[in-house]
Amino acid sequence: MRLWIDKIASATANVALRRDVRLTPDIVAREGYVIAGRVHGEKTTYNQLEDLYGRMVTVHDGDVIAGVLGERHALQGYAGDVPPVIAVGDTLQLLNLGGVIGRCTSQNPDVGRPFDVEVLGSVLVFPDFEDRNGVPAHIGMNAVTAPPGRLPPVPVVYVIGTCMNSGKTSAACQLVRELAKRGTAVGACKLTGISLRRDVLQMRDYGARWAVSFTDAGAVSTNPASAVGVSRTLLGHLVHAGAEVIVAELGDGILGEYGVGQILAESELMNLAGAIVLCANDPVGAWGAQQVLQQRYGLAIDVVSGPTTDNAVGTRYVREQLGLAAFNARTHGGELGGFVAGKIAQRAAEVRP
């Protein structure tokens, strides 16, 4: 069956689809496979889809979209999974702006019900020249790779948060900008979360020479089982590309379900830390994050940013009560970048023979 796709979601980017696709009714009900579906319903909130260029396009009733089967476990948004069996005509839901499609199991009242998506079939690709036998498209095709072996000792600035929307991407972008202004070849990545290109595109806008996410490594979303392996791949890929320092954002929060905790517990990854930047929404979150990182992972926060530093009240608490440096990324990006650059230099000197 041939079909014209109205909107191609960014989550499919590894596959390089055209608008004119061929479908098969035989659907592999597993994360990462690309399907076509018809949208049903109209929404006034959370009604957009990120396309292959990073542009947000409005979704309308009747649109035929290409998206990717996947799970979501977000605190502020939809949660969902991939059913064990999927057939043409089944109804699934659009779980995020990046085009992840699955069975919605929980929703947040701030975004309303998700769009329903009528399954039309699995999208085929034809990787072998002159072979008319297509194979179901999967975003693991053309995924980035990294050289085997242990990761080289390139410093990584880990940007972690107390939860979603705690200012992590703003802080990461300011750090990229300040480090790049110092003449450093900066690589950037998003290690955990659910597929959406917006954040890594923003990192490129701020000066990252290379910016990749877990989706580039073939993962629709991360989880406790996949996060460490995906992180090794992305960091290794950036080092191989030439990055002299890497700014790595860990999407979601420390206690979320996307595998952040597993990364924090992995000594090979954390031994690369040139700095650990915490973004917190409020003083309680900053205090709790300090306790969790110290007691559960044996890690020390270097500097705090995010909404808790939006004015002098929260900043003063972090500095005086928690004994931590604090800079707001939006208003004091230069000071934040300078502090982190100093930490990276200090740690490099400590390990230098």
Residue 273 maps to which CATH number?
3.40.50.300
Residues 195 and 301 in one domain: yes
Is residue 98 domain-shared with residue 231, that is, in the same domain? no
Residue 352 pLDDT grade (very low, low, confident, very high; cuts 50, 70, 90):
low
The answer as to whether 145 is a domain residue is no
Q: What is the pLDDT of residues 148-203, one digit of tens each?
A: 889 999 999 999 999 988 999 999 999 999 999 999 999 999 999 999 999 999 99
Domain membership of residue 149 (yes or no) is no
Average pLDDT over every residue of 196-222:
97
Shared domain for 6 and 88, answered yes or no, is yes
Residue 146 lies in a domain: no
The domain of 60 spans 2-136
pLDDT tens digits for 266-313?
999 999 999 999 999 999 999 999 999 999 999 999 999 999 999 999
Do 200 and 338 belong together in one domain?
yes
Number of domains into which the chain is organized: 2
Using the predicted structure, report yes or no on whether residue 204 has a pLDDT greater than 60: yes
- Chain segment 97-148, per-residue pLDDT in tens: 999 999 999 988 888 899 999 999 999 999 876 667 889 999 999 999 998 8
Task: Give the Å distances, CA to CA, from 44 to 41, 55, 100, 117, 290.
Answer: 10, 18, 19, 17, 39
> What's residue 127's pLDDT?
82
Range with lowest mean pLDDT among 11-15, 74-78, 86-90, 104-108: 74-78
Confidence grade of residue 233 (pLDDT, cut at 50, 70, 90): very high
- Let me know whether 200 and 126 are in one domain: no
Is 142 contained in some domain? Answer: no
Residues 68, 205 within the same domain: no
Pair 20, 51 in one domain: yes
Is residue 101 within 8 A of residue 92, CB to CB? The reply is: yes
Which of residues 136, 167, 193 is at a domain's end?
136
Residues 126 and 167 in one domain: no
Whose CA is closest to 86, among 101, 98, 73, 96?
101
Q: Residue 75's pLDDT band (boundaries 50, 70, 90)?
A: confident
Q: Give the model's pLDDT for residue 324.
A: 97
Q: What is the pLDDT of residue 8?
A: 98
- The whole-number average pLDDT for the span 18-41 is 96
Q: Which of 136, 166, 185 is the last residue of a domain?
A: 136
The predicted model gives 212-216 an average pLDDT of: 97
pLDDT digits (tens, 9 = 90+) for 244-268: 999 999 998 999 899 999 999 999 9
Q: Is 97 exposed, middle or buried (0-12, 13-18, 19+ CB in 10 A)?
A: buried
pLDDT in tens, 303-347: 999 999 999 999 999 999 999 999 999 999 999 999 999 999 998
**Is residue 173 domain-shared with residue 301, that is, in the same domain?**
yes
Q: Answer yes or no: do 132 and 205 share one domain.
A: no
- Least confident interval from 41-50, 122-131, 203-212: 122-131
The number of beta carbons lying within 10 Å of the beta carbon of residue 58 is 11
User: Does 167 reside within a domain?
Assistant: yes
Contact partners, residue 274, CB within 8 Å, separation at least 6: 155, 156, 157, 245, 340, 343, 344, 347, 348
Instruction: Please check whether residue 40 lies inside any domain of the structure.
Output: yes
Nearest in space to 1 (alpha carbons), one of 19, 18, 24, 35? 24
Question: 3-class DSSP state for residue 298?
Answer: coil
User: Could you tell me if 187 and 270 lie in one domain?
Assistant: yes
Residue 129 sits in the same domain as residue 202: no
Is residue 111 situated within a structural domain?
A: yes
- Residue 353: what pLDDT? 57
Pick the closest to residue 135 from 34, 19, 20 (CA basis): 34
Q: Is residue 18 part of a domain?
A: yes
Tokens found for residue 36:
């076509």
Q: Which of 136, 165, 194 is the last residue of a domain?
A: 136
Determine the Cα–Cα distance for residues 37 and 324; give it in Å rounded to an integer.
Answer: 49
